[in-house]
């Protein structure tokens, strides 16, 4: 066994052990990330609140945690723009403590557009190896787009949910995407051998669809339970669209769409077209719900995903919430805080005014004041 195989085996063994544990970030160190010059924090297991004016660096603190878990920003930005002006590289480092008191160290670095990811000092090549160790959910000021916009965001949301309860899913998706690209290339070129890819596409596609359908059912049940605490939101209906006619098998659907696919030059049916359809009284939710209601529903979707993950893995995920109380009334803010507090998730919130997000939790939340990139 060569060193690469030994390293992978070690990481795999560690992951199997890890998933019997609960994690909390106990140390967070940041160097040269946007306005943040040098930050060293010791968060608590419960609610952590970053307060400060706009532009102070609050969101960048959440961005640092997201970089550790996903190796990219949750904002649309080029990697080099993450590095503080005048500096050549950035780094983020965390220590997570578990119920057996073991410490896991995760590091992320960016230098000359080259990403570096480390787990306990060992370089890892796939983001998924760290992502499954640091499950996170994020709510940003544009979370309403999960409802308002097209299926891409909802499909991505669904994919992350399935991944965190079934880690083989990422491999299935990788194989499916590769096969899909090859089939599409054949369709575009007019190559008559495009159908040689169908067997693999159907095999991976059916597996992906089954995992998604199973996950969707459990996730929807959690959402309905959580939503009961928010009477200001009308009854929401969710349906899983698998990406093709529910009365057909994937094989039959591919055959039925042959002429359309050849004309379009790409595959028009399959799991890559899946969606979570959201309605109120049989009408699209985006046409019925106000912006504030959309934010509540989308936030509950994320919280439900984290609860479902916890039920499947016995791991407390980490919740990030940027500009938490924007567009929410005080009652809704308090209801969400109560829900978050009872979940047991380690949570990181940003807010301009601490009073609007603490309420009865002022003695329980750990406050960090952010000013011009400095954290106190």
Per-residue pLDDT of the chain (376 residues; tens, 9 = 90+): 444 444 444 444 434 444 445 679 999 999 999 999 999 999 999 999 999 999 999 999 999 999 999 999 999 877 788 999 999 999 999 999 876 668 889 999 999 889 999 999 999 999 999 998 899 999 999 999 999 999 999 999 999 999 999 989 999 999 999 999 999 999 999 877 888 999 999 999 999 999 999 999 999 999 999 999 898 899 999 999 999 999 999 999 999 999 999 999 999 999 999 999 999 999 999 999 999 999 999 999 999 999 999 988 888 899 999 988 887 888 888 889 889 988 889 999 998 877 766 565 556 889 999 999 999 8
Of 289, 292, 290, 298, nearest in space to 329 by CA: 292
Cα(309)–Cα(303) distance, integer angstroms: 10
User: The whole model's pTM is what?
Assistant: 0.90
pLDDT at residue 204 in the model = 98
Which parts are annotated binding residues for ATP? 52-59
pLDDT at residue 360 in the model = 56
- Residue 304's Cβ-side half-sphere holds a number of Cα atoms within 13 Å equal to 23
Q: Give percent helix, percent strand, percent coil of the chain, each to the nearest 5.
A: 50, 25, 30
Strands (DSSP E) contained in 147-287 are 237-241, 275-280, 283-284
| 3 state DSSP class of 376 | coil
Cα(80)–Cα(226) distance, integer angstroms: 40
- Which contiguous run of DSSP H or E holds residue 161? helix 151-165
Strand order in the sheet with 318-321: 136-139, 318-321, 346-351, 47-51, 366-371, 374-375
Sketch the domain layout of the chain as residue ranges: 1-134+357-376
Which parts are annotated binding residues? 52-59
**Dihedral pair phi/psi, residue 14, rounded to 5°:** -65, -40
Strands (DSSP E) contained in 2-88 are 23-33, 36-41, 47-51
Residue showing tokens 């993450």: 82
Domain at 1-134+357-376: CATH code: 3.40.50.300
Cα(250)–Cα(282) distance, integer angstroms: 26
Of 55, 56, 113, nearest in space to 83 by CA: 113
pLDDT at residue 316 in the model = 86
Cα(129)–Cα(63) distance, integer angstroms: 19
Q: How far is CA 142 from CA 13, 139, 322, 340, in A?
A: 38, 8, 10, 20
């Amino acid at each position: 066994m060569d060193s690469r195989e030994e390293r992978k085996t070690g990481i795999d063994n560690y992951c199997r052990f890890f998933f019997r544990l609960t994690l909390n970030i106990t140390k967070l160190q940041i160097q040269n990330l946007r306005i943040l010059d040098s930050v060293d924090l010791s968060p608590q297991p419960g609610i952590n609140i970053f307060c400060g004016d706009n532009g102070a660096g609050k969101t960048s603190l959440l961005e640092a945690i997201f970089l550790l878990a996903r190796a990219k920003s949750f904002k649309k930005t080029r990697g080099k723009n993450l590095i503080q002006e005048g500096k050549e590289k950035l780094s983020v480092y965390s220590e997570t403590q578990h119920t057996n008191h073991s410490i896991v160290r995760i590091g992320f670095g960016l230098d000359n557009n080259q990403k570096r990811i480390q787990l306990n000092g060992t370089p890892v090549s796939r983001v998924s190896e760290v992502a499954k160790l640091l499950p996170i959910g994020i709510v940003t000021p544009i979370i309403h787009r999960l409802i308002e916009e097209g299926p891409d965001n909802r499909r991505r949301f669904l994919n992350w949910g399935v991944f965190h309860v079934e880690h083989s899913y990422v491999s299935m998706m990788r194989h499916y995407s590769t096969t899909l690209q090859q089939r599409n290339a054949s369709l575009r070129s007019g190559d008559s051998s495009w159908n040689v890819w169908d067997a693999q596409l159907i095999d991976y596609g059916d597996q992906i669809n089954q995992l998604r359908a199973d996950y969707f059912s459990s996730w929807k049940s959690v959402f309905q339970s959580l939503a009961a605490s928010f009477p200001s939101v009308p009854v929401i209906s969710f349906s899983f669209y698998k990406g093709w006619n529910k009365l057909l098998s994937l094989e039959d659907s591919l055959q039925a769409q042959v002429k359309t696919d050849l004309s379009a030059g790409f595959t028009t049916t399959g799991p890559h077209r899946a969606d979570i359809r959201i309605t109120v009284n049989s009408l699209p939710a985006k046409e019925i719900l106000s912006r504030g209601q959309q934010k509540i529903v989308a936030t509950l979707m994320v919280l439900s995903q984290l609860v479902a993950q916890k039920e499947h893995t016995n791991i407390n995920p980490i919740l990030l919430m940027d500009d938490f109380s924007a567009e929410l009334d005080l009652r809704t803010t308090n209801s969400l805080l109560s829900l978050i507090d009872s979940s047991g998730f380690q949570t990181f919130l940003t807010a301009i005014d601490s009073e609007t997000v603490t309420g009865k939790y002022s003695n329980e939340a750990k406050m960090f004041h952010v000013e011009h990139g400095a954290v106190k």
